[in-house]
Structure 1
Amino acid sequence: MHDHDDDPVAATIARTRLVTRTRDAATARNAILHTFLVRGLEVTGSSDFTFEETLTGTPLLTLESTSCTGTVRGEVDATAAIVLVWLKAGHAVVGGQQLPIGRPVLYSPGRQQVQWDRFQKDVLRIDREVVERVAAERGGWEPGPLEFEPNHIPDGAPLAAWWLMVRTVAAEILGTTGEVSLAREHELAAMAAAGLLTAIPHWPARVDAPRTAHAGLADAETFLLDHVAERISVDDVAAAAGMSVRGLQSAFQRIHGTTPMAYLRSVRLLMARQQLETGQHAAVADVARSVGITHLGRFSGAYREEFGELPGETLRAARERHA
Structure 2
Amino acid sequence: MMHRSQREITTAEPSAAAEALSRTYTTHDLVVVAGSGPFVFTERVRGTALLSLGSTGCSGVLSGSVEAGTTMMIVWLKSGSAVVDDEPVPIGRPVLYRQEPQRFRWEDFQHDVLRIDRTVVEQVAAERGDWRPGPLRFRPHHVPEGPALAAWWLTVRSVAEHVLRGPSEVSAAREHELARFAAAGLLTAIPHWPVGRHEPALASTARFARAETFLLDHATESITVEEVAAAAGLSVRGLQAAFQRHHGITPTMYLRRIRLLLAREQLQAGGDRSVAEIARATGFAHLGRFAGSYREEFGELPRQTAQAARD
Question: TM-score, normalised to structure 1's length?
Answer: 0.92
Q: What is the aligned counterpart of 1:201 among 187, 191, 207?
A: 191
**Preserved CA contact (<8 Å) 2:67 2:97:** no
Secondary structure class of the residue paired with 1:17: strand
Secondary structure class of the residue paired with 2:5: strand
Structure 1 partner of 2:219? 228
Alignment of 1:97-108 (within 5 A): 97-108=87-98
Structure 2 partner of 1:48? 38
Q: How many Å separate the matches in 2 of 1:259 and 1:59?
A: 29
**Preserved CA contact (<8 Å) 2:4 2:47:** yes
Structure 2 partner of 1:85? 75
Q: How many Å separate the matches in 2 of 1:37 and 1:125?
A: 13
2:150 is aligned with 1:129: no
2:44 is aligned with 1:17: no
Secondary structure class of the residue paired with 1:150: coil
Q: How many Å separate the matches in 2 of 1:13 and 1:253?
A: 24
Q: How many Å separate the matches in 2 of 1:127 and 1:249?
A: 27
Alignment of 1:103-252 (within 5 A): 103-207=93-197, 215-252=206-243
Q: How many Å separate the matches in 2 of 1:300 and 1:161?
A: 20
**Preserved CA contact (<8 Å) 2:26 2:69:** no
Letter aligned with residue 244 of structure 1: S
Moved over 2 A (4+): 206-209
Q: Deviations over 1:139-194 (max 9, x none)?
A: 11121111100000011010001001101110111002421122221121111111
Secondary structure class of the residue paired with 2:4: strand
Q: Which moved more, 1:229-238 or 1:266-275?
A: 229-238
Q: Deviations over 1:111-141 (max 9, x none)?
A: 1101110100000000011111111111111
Q: Which moved more, 1:42-51 or 1:80-89?
A: 42-51
**Preserved CA contact (<8 Å) 1:89 1:121:** yes
Secondary structure class of the residue paired with 2:62: strand
Letter aligned with residue 211 of structure 2: A
Residue 207 (structure 1) shift: 2.2
Residue 109 (structure 1) shift: 1.6
Q: Deviations over 1:4-23 (max 9, x none)?
A: xxxxxxxx111111001111
Structure 2 partner of 1:310? 301
Q: How many Å separate the matches in 2 of 1:230 and 1:271?
A: 13
Percent of pairs identical after alignment? Answer: 55
Structure 2 partner of 1:74? 64
Q: How many Å separate the matches in 1 of 2:73 and 2:40?
A: 24
**Preserved CA contact (<8 Å) 2:76 2:92:** yes
Q: Deviations over 1:37-74 (max 9, x none)?
A: 00111111156001000001000001010000011111
**Preserved CA contact (<8 Å) 1:17 1:177:** no
Letter aligned with residue 133 of structure 1: Q
Residue 254 (structure 1) shift: 1.3
**Preserved CA contact (<8 Å) 2:64 2:103:** yes
**Preserved CA contact (<8 Å) 2:12 2:40:** yes
Structure 1 partner of 2:283? 292
Residue 214 (structure 1) shift: 7.8
Secondary structure class of the residue paired with 2:132: coil
Secondary structure class of the residue paired with 1:125: strand
Q: How many Å separate the matches in 1 of 2:172 and 2:165?
A: 16
Superposition CA RMSD, Å:
1.7
2:67 is aligned with 1:95: no
Question: TM-score, normalised to structure 2's length?
Answer: 0.95
Residue 30 (structure 1) shift: 0.6
Q: How many Å separate the matches in 2 of 1:136 and 1:245?
A: 23
Q: How many Å separate the matches in 1 of 2:244 and 2:197?
A: 30
Structure 2 partner of 1:262? 253
2:274 is aligned with 1:283: yes
Structure 2 partner of 1:6? none
Residues matched between the structures, number:
307
Q: Deviations over 1:80-104 (max 9, x none)?
A: 2111000000110111111000000
